[in-house]
Structure 1
Amino acid sequence: MTLERGPRLAIDVGTVRVGLAASDPDGLVATPVETLRRDTAAAADVRRIVDEVVERGARVVYVGLPRHLSGAEGASAQAARAYAGVVARAIDPVPVHLVDERMSSVSAHRSMQQAGRPGRKQRSVVDQVAAVIILQTALDAERRAGERAGELVTA
């Protein structure tokens, strides 16, 4: 199977912030886009994601699914699933896939510490870095399998 060429987006869903990352059209490299304030009342964050999908011509959106190390799903995973459903309905027919993001936030914090970024300044970009890790993992899985990574979310 040949994957349709085009940018991909990734979302790291948090309770306060949402990180966005995007790829190049060939799906080789993930780069940070921005950190959005989570807006459960007015859904401004979802509208911004819709804008990014349209502006970039995204072919798929990956949403990180935060499982426990055991693989079990807790409250955070259920919240990510619900958020992915909202995004899927908002960007239909662009597909949304959930991808395992175990340790992406831990890896993001670690890489920022190694880069010498102080803890207080990490908050503003850690979600973007986590989204980059989620997206790069999905891109690598796409190349290995020749198909979209993760679990398709129905709109």
Structure 2
Amino acid sequence: MSRILAIDYGKIRTGIAVTDELQIIASGLTTVTTKSLISFLIDYTKKEQVELFVVGEPKQMNNTASESEILILPFIAKLKKQFPDIPVIRIDERFTSKMAFQTMIDSGLKKQQRKNKALIDEISATLILQSYLYSK
């Protein structure tokens, strides 16, 4: 089988999570600079078979698109152009950053470690991917 890869897209950094090959467990993979995201995905898909991209969809409380959606839509267009055979779906990512931060607290990470924004992005991508897996 192949993996599902989730993306928590950000203006500066992007968190990435993947499933195992059986698509049962979501795990944080890494955080990359957003400007190097497409090249990272090209390299990753050369090594691992990816069946689906799950991209976080930021929404406001009233269910309308958040301001960051303006940045995400052009990225999705590039993603679809670069990987025409890999479908892209969107998953509501409301509260993932807050949940990621709470996960860090619950895991016993010290205050200094919780300031690591890259780790928050990676955990957020994992939460997006878990949300997708639960919805399947």
One-letter amino acid of the structure 2 residue matched with residue 54 of structure 1:
K
Match of 1:65 among 52, 57, 67: 57
Residue 96, structure 1, aligned to residue 88, structure 2: yes
Instruction: Note the 1:31-110 alignment, pairs <5 A.
Output: 31-39=27-35, 44-110=36-102
Aligned-partner Cα distance in 2 for 1:82–1:139: 25
Structure 1: state its 5+ residue gaps.
143-155
How far 1:109 moved relative to its partner?
Answer: 1.0
Equivalent residues, number: 134
One-letter amino acid of the structure 2 residue matched with residue 109 of structure 1:
F
How far 1:51 moved relative to its partner?
Answer: 1.9
Percentage of matched positions with identical amino acids: 23
With normalisation by structure 1, the TM-score equals: 0.80
How far 1:37 moved relative to its partner?
Answer: 1.1
Q: How big is the alpha-carbon RMSD for the aligned residues of Structure 1 and Structure 2? A: 1.5
Aligned-partner Cα distance in 2 for 1:13–1:48: 13
Residue 11, structure 1, aligned to residue 45, structure 2: no
With normalisation by structure 2, the TM-score equals: 0.90
State the Cα deviation string for residues 38-69 of structure 1 (Å, max 9, x = none). Answer: 21xxxx22110122233220100101011112
